[in-house]
Amino acid sequence: MEILVCVKRVPDTAENEIEVAADGSDIERDDLVYSVNEWDNYAVEEAIQLVDKAGGSVTVVSVGDEEAEEVVRREMAMGANNGLLLSDDAFEGSDGKGTATILKAAVEKGNYDLILTGALADDGAGQVGGMLAAMLDLPFASVVNRIEVMDDKKLKIGREIEGGNQEMHEIDLPCVLSIQTGINEPRYVGIRGIRKVASVEIPVWGTSELGVAADSVGAAAARVKRLDYFVPDLGEGAEILEGSLEEVADKLIEMLKAKGGIK
């Protein structure tokens, strides 16, 4: 099975506090630690496990600037066979549809049976997978937390819906699936793995290699445009307890007792 996994380089929220820049035009990017989007890591692990069982190869692809190469390389260290970076000044400022348009062009240059994305990325949209499927006229399923290969024409998949219930479907190949966290346990990538792929060439494709019209992507084509970043003022918020750890604990215990929080 030939599998393409779409991965995005995002600020790691476990490592950073995300703050709005003074003029509101962006977040503070200076000291951010970036990593591969959490959901995409599960998608790559799933692809590797599927190929381990059914044969074939895993290709990871990212749309981004040259620094996005590092996440492609990281996922190759995990065990993906090929990497691709889609990068061009014309791609900058793309909305979800723009990103899907770029990815679609890359998909059409290959011959994939299965395309995986993460269910969600840093922008909280959860849109690229579903858009890509519609552009390619392929069946789609979101928030997938189980994949079983039935034969070379179809998969049995589970979607994790509300309440943690699992909706089972049979889906025709080729198809696009967006992967939910928890579907597997992504393997650890050590220094050894990183070193092994350190010098692998990762092809970089832009508008001309992909045959994408520059005006169909990027900021100019975007129908959803971000105006600013801000932190909303949501009323009073929490009463913050101040003092030493012991003082805070004493204050909190009084409050908890009053609310029935200590039995």
Partner 1 sequence: MAGQVFAYIVYKEGKADDTALELVKAAGKINPDASPTAIVTGSGSDLDAVCNEVTASYKEVWKFDNEALAYPNAEIIRQLLVKVLPADAVVLVAHDTFGMDLSPGLAIMLDSTFVPDVVDFEGLEGDTLKAVRQEFSGQVSTHVNCDLSNGAVINVRPGVFQADGAAGVGGQVIDKSSEIGELVLRRRYLETVEAEVGDVDITKEDVLVSVGRGIEDQDNIEIAEELAEAMGAVVSCSRPIVDAKWLEKSRQVGTSGQTVKPKVYMALGISGSFQHLGGLKGNPFIVAVNKNPKAPIFQVADVGIVEDLLEFAPVLTEKIAEGK
Ligand X SMILES: Nc1ncnc2c1ncn2[C@@H]1O[C@H](COP(=O)(O)O)[C@@H](O)[C@H]1O
Ligand Y SMILES: Cc1cc2nc3c(=O)[nH]c(=O)nc-3n(C[C@H](O)[C@H](O)[C@H](O)COP(=O)(O)OP(=O)(O)OC[C@H]3O[C@@H](n4cnc5c(N)ncnc54)[C@H](O)[C@@H]3O)c2cc1C
Binding residues for ligand X (CB under 6 A):
6-8, 37, 39-40, 62-64, 96, 99, 117-118, 120-121, 123, 125-129
The C-alpha atoms of residue 118 and residue 138 are separated, in whole angstroms, by 17
Using CA of residue 171, residue 177, residue 183, residue 186, what is the dihedral sign? positive
83 membership: H or E segment, kind and range: strand 82-86
- Residue 14 contacts ligand Y per CB under 6 A: yes
- Residue 248 contacts partner 1 per CB under 8 A: yes
Q: Which residues are paired to 205 by β-bridges?
A: 86
Pairing of strands 166-172, 154-160: antiparallel
Q: Enter the tokens of residue 213.
A: 């019209």
Q: Enter the tokens of residue 24.
A: 């509101």
Closest approach, Cβ 39 to ligand X, in A, equals 5
Contact region for partner 1 (CB under 8 A) — 45-53, 83-91, 107-115, 251-259? 251-259
- Residue 120 contacts ligand Y per CB under 6 A: yes
Contact region for partner 1 (CB under 8 A) — 76-84, 108-116, 208-216, 238-246? 238-246
- Residue 119 contacts ligand Y per CB under 6 A: yes
- Residue 92 contacts partner 1 per CB under 8 A: no
Q: Which is nearer to ligand Y, 14 or 227 (CB)?
A: 14
The C-alpha atoms of residue 103 and residue 128 are separated, in whole angstroms, by 9
Q: Which residue's Cβ lies closest to ligand Y?
A: 120
Identity at 95, one-letter amino acid code: D
Residues 126-155 that bind partner 1 (CB under 8 A): 126-131, 133-135, 139-143
Query: Which option in partner 1, ligand Y, ligand X, none does residue 21 bind, with CB closer than 5 to 8 A by kind?
Result: none
Q: Which is nearer to ligand Y, 9 or 159 (CB)?
A: 159
Identity at 148, one-letter amino acid code: E
Query: Which option in partner 1, ligand Y, ligand X, none does residue 87 bind, with CB closer than 5 to 8 A by kind?
Result: none
Closest approach, Cβ 166 to ligand Y, in A, equals 13
Q: DSSP 3-state assignment of 196?
A: helix
The C-alpha atoms of residue 164 and residue 29 are separated, in whole angstroms, by 35
Identity at 104, one-letter amino acid code: K
Closest approach, Cβ 246 to ligand Y, in A, equals 17
The crossing angle, in degrees rounded to 10, of helices 96-108 and 128-136 is 50
Query: Which option in ligand X, partner 1, ligand Y, none does residue 161 bind, with CB closer than 5 to 8 A by kind?
Result: partner 1
In contact, 18 and 53? CB cutoff 8 Å: no
Q: Which is nearer to ligand Y, 11 or 193 (CB)?
A: 11
Contact region for partner 1 (CB under 8 A) — 62-70, 167-175, 192-200, 205-213? 167-175
The C-alpha atoms of residue 92 and residue 112 are separated, in whole angstroms, by 26
Q: Summarize as ranges the residues that interact with ligand Y (CB under 6 A).
A: 13-14, 119-120, 143
